[in-house]
A and B are shown apart, each in its own frame.
Chain A
Amino acid sequence: MNWLSRLVRRRKMEQQLEKELRFHIEEHAANLIAAGVDPDEARRRARLAIGGPEQVKEQCRDARGTRWLEDLWYDLRYALRAVRQQPAFTAVAVLTLALGIGATTVMFSLVSGVLLKPLPYFEPDRLVSVNGHTDTWNTSVYGEQKLAYLDFLDCQRDAHSLDMAATVYNSGTLSRPEPPEYVDYFEISPELFSALRVPLELGRAFLPEEDHIGAAPVAILGYSFWQSRFGGRADVLGSSLVLDAKSYTVVGIAPAGFRLYGDEPEVYTPLGQDGGGYLHNRAAQPVRVVARLRPGATLAQAQAELTLTGQRLSQAFADTNAGRSLRAKPLRRNVGETRDTLWLLFGAVSLILLITCANVASLLLARAVSRERELAMRVALGATRERLVRQCLTESSLLGLSGGLAGVFLAANGLRPFLSFWPGDLPRAEEIQIDWRVLLFAVAVSLLSGVFFGLAPALRAPFRDLEPILRSGERSAARSSRHLHGTFVVSEVALAIVLLVGAGMLARSLLYDSSLDPGLDVRNLLVARMALSPAVLADPSRIPAAWQDIIDRAHRVPGVQAVTTVDIVPMRSGNNQLGYWTAADVPPENRRPLVLASSATPEYLKVTGIPLIEGRFFNDHDRMDSEPVVVVDEVLAKNAFAGQDAIGKNLWIPEMPCAQPEHAYAECKAPYKVVGVVGHVRYWGLAGDDQAQVRAQLYYPLAQVAPRFLPRWSQLMSIAVRTDLPPLTLLESLRQELRGAAGDQVLYQVRTMEQLEHNSLSQQRFLLLLFSIFAGLALLLACIGIYGVLAYLTGLRVPEMGLRIALGASPASVQWLVLRQSLSMILFGVVLGGSAAVAAARLLIRTVEGMRPEPSAFALVIPVLILAALLASWLPALRASRIDPIIALRHD
């Protein structure tokens, strides 16, 4: 018989046990009677000999080995009964827990989806990324170093342990089918889909013979693009599209939801067909490499191979590859600063959960105290301490699980609305869902909280000194629980303080940040990316005229005051950081100070409203054949020239797109002359700029960018337009006008500077919203907790209060008695929470951009909490002062 059938046949086994023992006693008695003992006496002796029949039965049940299950069953039924007897208590407990667990579950689904889950590919732990590394490379600024395409081809040929694939991110104008649209595309090596083991939705992947210059152009469409642009029609296979003036035949459709590095591109094209100079030069590293370990191969083997290849390349191509090694690392999604934000919110939400646990624990404790006599009775009847603790824990776990169930329900319904509130892009957002991981977490949290808030009441279960408890009225027995109750109140107050201070600091910092001057006039300023006609891009000599044409055309639109091109837009759109030096002996790349550089046209200051402080801005006389000039901002003037007059000084900027270097990736040797100083712009956003690593700014004339750089520059170019009307009202006419002569120039990513400025504080605003909700919830829960505990403790003291009143105590003094008790708990909590909040404040400052140490937050928040807490204690105090002494004294 296994334990299951024993359990199922429990009733029968009980009957048999009873029968067996009865048989024994009767046999024994019969024997004694036969020996001449009086029948009654014989039965008495027989019963005595076997000991207490109930104890023997208990021991036999223990011997059966299913004891714990039976007990669990009993405990569950008992717990259910207890729960049903107190529906109000149960509802409050389950609801609070549901809030706490629900909020925690939502945050955990984010943490799990974004940070913990393996990437959504087949055997993601076998995938690696391959990067280059040189000592002069600044990873924190530029990210991981990618590979040169030619280096990739060499690695791929040499690799025995890796299936490698390359991608290059690109964007361009899709001009056929109409209407023209600016799209993102991935240039990929033919192995990409096979290395990731991703089957295509339709059609086929690229073939190796299609991966060289001159092969028939073929393209694969991204699933979403296929759906939105082609209605998901299968006959799109074989049709043609024109991307950057080149006609492609569509041969496949990528599967739904397939993303690489977080992007789902509109189109894929064969990387090997791209004849672009930057792909056929080892000095440029545009290629991202993903690889899958072949069966049996290890990461160490792959690394050993790559090291060899890297050494061979750096010897064979010393001028471009010297000092460059190759590194293989497990493929991970770069989630950037989101990691910190997520953990911060998860931490905050855990505090809420702790508060709910403390709240429920104090409620349970109050109940356990009033059940003390019942428990004492059970001990007297032979229940062991372990048994009682187990029973209490079963009850609290049941509560925890019910709360968890309700919480998961809340989380499942609240997750998507919550995500839609998330500011900006949440990486891997599409992977966030309530999956088995999250459910497992929720169950674990529910059980853990159950044990956590159930443990204190359970351990309090009376074990020794039963007699006074049994003899006394239940009310006088609860003295020892006052400490425990105090602990809960103190911790609730402390946790609430932490969240309140967090919210207070966020609010103060946000107020401060919004009051900052962005450094430019954000009103009536429109910025948009601008794609030149593909035909123009193919012929660099036509580009300067094309940009001039765009500026002229934009001027023709009524309502436009001034127009400029710009390659990086304030409020962190685009990023071009260059190293500079103030003398000709420029140190290696990683030791140069950095500056944010943007090209500009003469109307730049008029468009942006940035003040000119000294010297001049660019004009039409700054040309390719005139002296190279730059304009610096106040920060660069101060950093580079330390108080001296910047005008007329020289700057050496090796990465500038100047005309002198012999080939595209050599360094620019000539100095640039500073002709003007302008105001600093909060490029990194209102909140972020003060803490940014690279704040200095520099402008150079678009007219002095050497022609061979112009196609690349033009791909990244935006235009900024100052208007005297609300800028978005001009958008349609701008769009039409800028289409150009060929009708294939596209304006995209349109934003107003006001939107950009607003967005630059969206993280702070979002965190403030959440922290306010958390803090409000914490305050409310803490007040409910304080009210409950005090009402309970005061209830215990009813006879005492009655006596005091009967002896002449005034209502005020009785109220004070109760308030004093609560005040000491509150103050202790405030002190404890205050010190915890100092630590939390440090964490906030480190995690959240633009966060300032705001001691005022403490001063603001603590009185609020104390007031609220006193208010919550006042009601029990009032009730205590109105006790009718006659009734109170009769009470016991």
Chain B
Amino acid sequence: MPPKSELPQGTLDLLILKVAALGPLHGYAIAQRLQQVSRDVVQVPQGSLYPALHRLENRGFLEADWKETETGREAKFYRLTRKGKAQLEAEAASWERLAEAIGVILRLSEGGAK
């Protein structure tokens, strides 16, 4: 197994919002999807997933309904709200800017070493 990275502070919310944007998902599905999409690089601490979900719901970024799963069990499905969508876009943009800037800096330092 490849070594797993710790999630940078504050990025869990962003990732959850992104995954939830794909459609109504229950908590376990969100955890799985996160892991799959990140090709197991990102290890979502399952213990902090639910507090994060509840926090996002509390702030109105997510909405939740109890629905039946395909296996016929009741589960809580989370869905992105309009407000959540705006938040996702804002956070994603700011993250990309940051990542790009860090990338630039890293390339710069490589150039400087030559």
Contacts and interface: CB of A to CB of B under 8 A. Distances in A.
Interface of A: 16, 19-21, 23-24, 27-28, 49-52, 55-56, 59-60, 62-65
B76 A64 contact: no
Contacts, number: 51
Nearest to B31: A24
Nearest to A66: B58
A60 B31 CA distance: 16
Given A24-B27, A63-B54, 6 more contacts: A20-B75, A23-B28, A52-B47, A56-B50, A59-B48, A59-B51
* SS of B interface (majority): helix
B97 to A, nearest CB: 28
Contact of B58 (A19, A51, A56, A65): A65
10 contacts: A16-B76, A19-B76, A21-B50, A24-B27, A24-B28, A50-B46, A51-B46, A59-B47, A60-B51, A65-B58
A59 B50 contact: yes
A60 B51 CA distance: 4
Contact of A62 (B28, B51, B74): B51
A55 to B, nearest CB: 7
B46 A27 contact: no
B26 interface: yes
B73 interface: yes
Given A28-B28, A49-B46, A20 B76 contact: yes
B55 interface: yes
A56 B27 CA distance: 13
A62 B50 CA distance: 11
Nearest to A62: B51
Interface in B47-101: 47-48, 50-52, 54-55, 58, 66, 73-76
A318 B48 CA distance: 89
A524 B83 CA distance: 93
Given A16-B76, A23-B75, A64 B54 contact: yes
Nearest to A23: B75
B47 A51 contact: yes
Nearest to B54: A63
B53 to A, nearest CB: 8
The list of the 4 closest CB pairs from A to B, nearest first, reads: A51-B47, A59-B51, A63-B55, A63-B54
Nearest to B45: A51
Contact of A63 (B46, B58, B73): B58
Contacts of A28: 28
Contacts of B28: 23-24, 27-28
Nearest to A65: B58
Given A20-B27, A24-B27, A56 B75 contact: no
A16 B73 CA distance: 14
A51 B46 CA distance: 7
B51 A63 contact: yes
A611 to B, nearest CB: 91
Contacts of A64: 54, 58
B48 to A, nearest CB: 7
A211 to B, nearest CB: 69
Contacts of A62: 51
Contact of B54 (A50, A55, A60): A60
Contact of A60 (B50, B66, B74, B75): B50
User: Most chain-A CB neighbours within 10 Å: which of B45, B52, B58?
Assistant: B58
